Amino acid sequence: NTRKPRILVTRRLPEVIEARMGTLFETDVNEADLPLHADDLVAGLADKDVLVSSITDIIDTRLIARLPASVRMIAQFGNGVDNIDIDAALAAGLSVTNTPSVLTEDTADMAMVLMLALPRRLIEGTQLLVRERAWAGWSPTWMLGHRLRGKTLGIVGMGRIGTAVAQRAKAFGLKIHYYSRNRRPPAVEEPLEAVYWPDLDAMIEAVDIVSLHTPRTRETFRILDANRLERMKQGSFVVNVSRPELVDEAALVAGIESGHLSGAALDVFENRNGINPRLLALAEANKVVLTAHMASATLEARIEMGEAVIVNIRAFMDGHQPPHLVLPDGSHGLKRAD
């Protein structure tokens, strides 16, 4: 059987990846590059072997039930697979793969960009200078922020990305604390001088910055809820390059508005009905830094993610186990906290 695998790619991918897919597979790309409506997704999958999905494809029980019988694999372009009902997909006999590791370092870099942007007033300084032309020249008291060095960082989820953030943060002089389902071995902890907290509530009370690095699963939904946000130290702040659902956003906004929290630096935020205007107002007031789900948005990472998708598809179609098979674990998402 030498027939080329037939694949549907739901979003535009870097040119080199589309070109390579075009030679290896019978490839249909959603040229419009907008999230596909469920009906169009199902129609586009007629006779296809593989769905190359992204975070904007909602692959729930209902959609899985409607998939043409030809579809045997969902190859997610991305690390998180929380847009896919993994239990339902596996129960339907589909293989699901993702693209971990290749985006770890870039995502960790972005966490540091965000972590520094708030206390060093990056956005505010740029705006005053460039947009408002409001710089009268240097003065000893101009634009004073606060140093990160010496502060305590609490990492929630010490998987690949959490660990990469810890390594960077350690180099910036932060003290590393972490909460994870499983304690990491001494080989990970010791170089970081990392303090493990089996109790998230207790860690939350002890740190100056909380940075979230878990996948979105049933267990991590609003892991930073109103109660935990209230427990955070006066003047502390939140960094999120993971998923908006990990935080009770309304409670986060309220905590910043009241002055309890000094701010938040978010690459992800609730956006179903547009961005919360109160969150945007806080961004205008320079208490919140917002970036638009950009943490893995480097050309290099996106090409390597595309290459991982290709490797997964080829292995699967050749009858081998794809390198990044998503395993059943009773929850939506990955087994490991990354």
Helix axes 104-117, 160-171, angle to 10 degrees: 50
Q: Can you spell out the DSSP letters for 172-197?
A: TTPEEEEE-SSPPPHHHHHHHTPEE-
Closest to ligand 8YV by CB, 5 vs 80, is: 80
Residues constituting the chain? 338
Question: Is residue 269 a contact residue for ligand 8YV (CB under 6 A)?
Answer: no
Q: Please, what is the Cα angle at 300 between 298 and 306, to 5 degrees?
A: 105
Q: Which residue has the tokens 């993610």?
A: 305
- Interface segment toward ligand 8YV; rule CB under 6 A; list 76-84, 141-149, 273-281, 311-319: 76-84
| Residues in a beta bridge with 159 | none
Q: Are 154 and 179 in contact (CB under 8 A)?
A: yes
Q: Would you count residue 115 as binding ligand 8YV (CB under 6 A)? A: no
Between 57 and 248, whose beta carbon lies closer to ligand 8YV? 57
Q: Is 10 in the site for ligand 8YV (CB under 6 A)?
A: no
Under rule CB under 6 A, residue 12 binds ligand 8YV: no
**Which of 115/194 has CB closer to ligand 8YV?**
115
Size of the site for ligand 8YV (CB under 6 A): 9
| Binding-site member from 36, 64, 77, 269 for ligand 8YV (CB under 6 A) | 77
CB of 76 to ligand 8YV, least distance (A): 7
**54 is a contact residue toward ligand 8YV (CB under 6 A):** yes
> DSSP label at 3?
P
Within 10 angstroms of residue 115's Cβ, the number of other Cβ atoms is: 25
133 CB burial (10 A radius; 0-12, 13-18, 19+) = exposed
> Closest separation between CB of residue 50 and ligand 8YV, Å?
16
The answer to the question of residue 55 lying near ligand 8YV (CB under 6 A) is yes
x/- site string to ligand 8YV, residues 285 to 304, per CB under 6 A? --------x--x--------
Helix spans in the chain (H): 15-24, 38-44, 61-66, 86-91, 104-117, 122-126, 160-171, 186-192, 200-206, 226-231, 249-257, 277-284, 299-317
Q: How far is the CB of 288 from ligand 8YV (least distance, A)?
A: 20
Give the interface segment with ligand 8YV, choosing from 29-37, 73-81, 113-121, 154-162 (CB under 6 A): 73-81
> Using the rule CB under 6 A, which residue among 103, 232, 265, 313 binds ligand 8YV?
103
Residues 6+ apart with CB under 8 A from 141: none
Kindly state the smallest distance separating residue 54's Cβ from ligand 8YV, in Å.
4
Q: Which residue, among 79, 76, 9, has the nearest Cα to 295 in the 3D structure? A: 79
Residue nearest to ligand 8YV (CB): 78
| Footprint of ligand 8YV (CB under 6 A) | 54-55, 77-80, 103, 293, 296
